[in-house]
A and B are shown apart, each in its own frame.
Chain A
């Protein structure tokens, strides 16, 4: 892998992103901000306190990382699949000194960048209603958002590398991402789930990220931070390898 070539791939995506900046902002934070306000204020009247904080405060930390998760997942399913297969952007790049490993890394870091951008937009929106911590922990939250994006982006790219067409992304979103989203401990403590589901919740990567972001927001996490970070790092490495291997199998024939 050549960092310079990967950066050139990243820059191509950034050039397109800059042209469609506002569409990206709305797409990235529209739904999570609505979720925060409507669930937070609406459901919050029924659920006055969770773990000693107002319900809207309980929602905020997790929504930052799951919005990052979705941003990267969308980018590296529909976006990357289009570039890989439909628009032939990958085949254009592969006719230059860019190699398949550079393309995958450029895309993964681009997914992480979209996640970073989304996390930042979410924090800004939350700052307006006084929900975002301002200080060194802000940077930690942004880094966690980017890292979460890298992981789910890698899962998304691995799926893109095997999917026969756009319709099949339903499998990725409905059978994988949506359960992960609801089981991640964003909306309620995972201990509230029946035993098998609770165990499953602890096995999903979004739960690890939500646990970390809760600590960064000054709330109690669900697992030791070192464990969460270790699990995320191992999964990131495994998924980056998988995304590279599957992309190579599809493209280098």
Chain B
């Protein structure tokens, strides 16, 4: 019995659709989230990531298809599901009228904890997130990084089976991001199951066991970040800016190499299996700028979704 339940997914979505009037935000997706796994949804703005999250946490009704959390069905057992889930929202929702510890106490109250129990849990979380010395401060006095940590602390007050982090480090400076990543990795080490959305590829590579690449409401690819990169883009990427007079020669060189090439503005991206040869050949074209690097999830992502600017939500 325990072996069976350990192998069962914690979250299962089948044919999941979300429409807002005429707009289709999620166009029928399937995914499974295994216990202990950190799963990331990657995508440009408007890809449908947040809609998936909002359906999973039972705050946005499912238009079609089904999603279950720990065997409970979203839309049926919402209150029970919400008791199992902790959410760190994308947009700031701390209570500006309350202190740091009061924020946790009130939030614990929403889970039905007594004032004392909520206080006990809150104090422990403030320790974990290095906020204990700010416990009596008004949240208005916190820095952006502290506020984000407090959001994550708040999301953990019910020791959730599933932790949802909706763009956990968007808008933070590099130091604050690294602190958050450390805390999330430590939570992972404790076996917390997490669902993350991000548009930072670096964040996904560092934190996620598996990622789903989303665009226009669909999942394009699912897999471990490293494996996806190996399977779908060549080992290295060369970035080339030809410069005015070398453009024709560079174009000829690229045609001879026969590698996949993408063009974005003045820059060419050459995905090559033989970077040494390509560097030599392209160097002959006397370009303005030429560099090589390992292919990353970002390259895969941009290849899948295109390099055009995304506007909208």
Residues of A at the B interface (CB closer than 8 Å) are: 2, 4-5, 8-9, 11-12, 15-16, 19, 87-89, 91-99, 252-253
Contacts and interface: CB of A to CB of B under 8 A. Distances in A.
Top-4 shortest CB links A-B: A96-B110, A88-B93, A95-B87, A92-B93
26 contacts: A8-B106, A15-B98, A15-B102, A16-B95, A87-B96, A88-B89, A88-B92, A89-B93, A89-B95, A91-B93, A92-B93, A92-B154, A95-B57, A95-B59, A95-B85, A95-B89, A96-B82, A96-B107, A96-B110, A96-B111, A97-B79, A97-B80, A97-B111, A98-B82, A98-B110, A99-B79
Contacts of A89: 93, 95
A92 B79 contact: no
Contact of A16 (B59, B80, B97): B97
Contacts of A12: 95, 106, 109
Nearest to A7: B109
A124 B183 CA distance: 54
Given A12-B106, A91-B59, A253-B60, A97 B95 contact: no
Contacts, number: 71
Interface in B158-193: 158
B61 interface: yes
Given A12-B95, A15-B102, A97-B83, A252 B111 contact: no
B37 interface: no
Nearest to A94: B59
Contact of B112 (A4, A91, A94, A99): A4
A2 B110 CA distance: 11
Contacts of A96: 82-83, 107, 110-111, 158
Given A92-B89, A252-B61, A97 B82 contact: yes
A9 B98 CA distance: 14
B107 A92 contact: yes
Contacts of B60: 252-253
Nearest to A92: B93
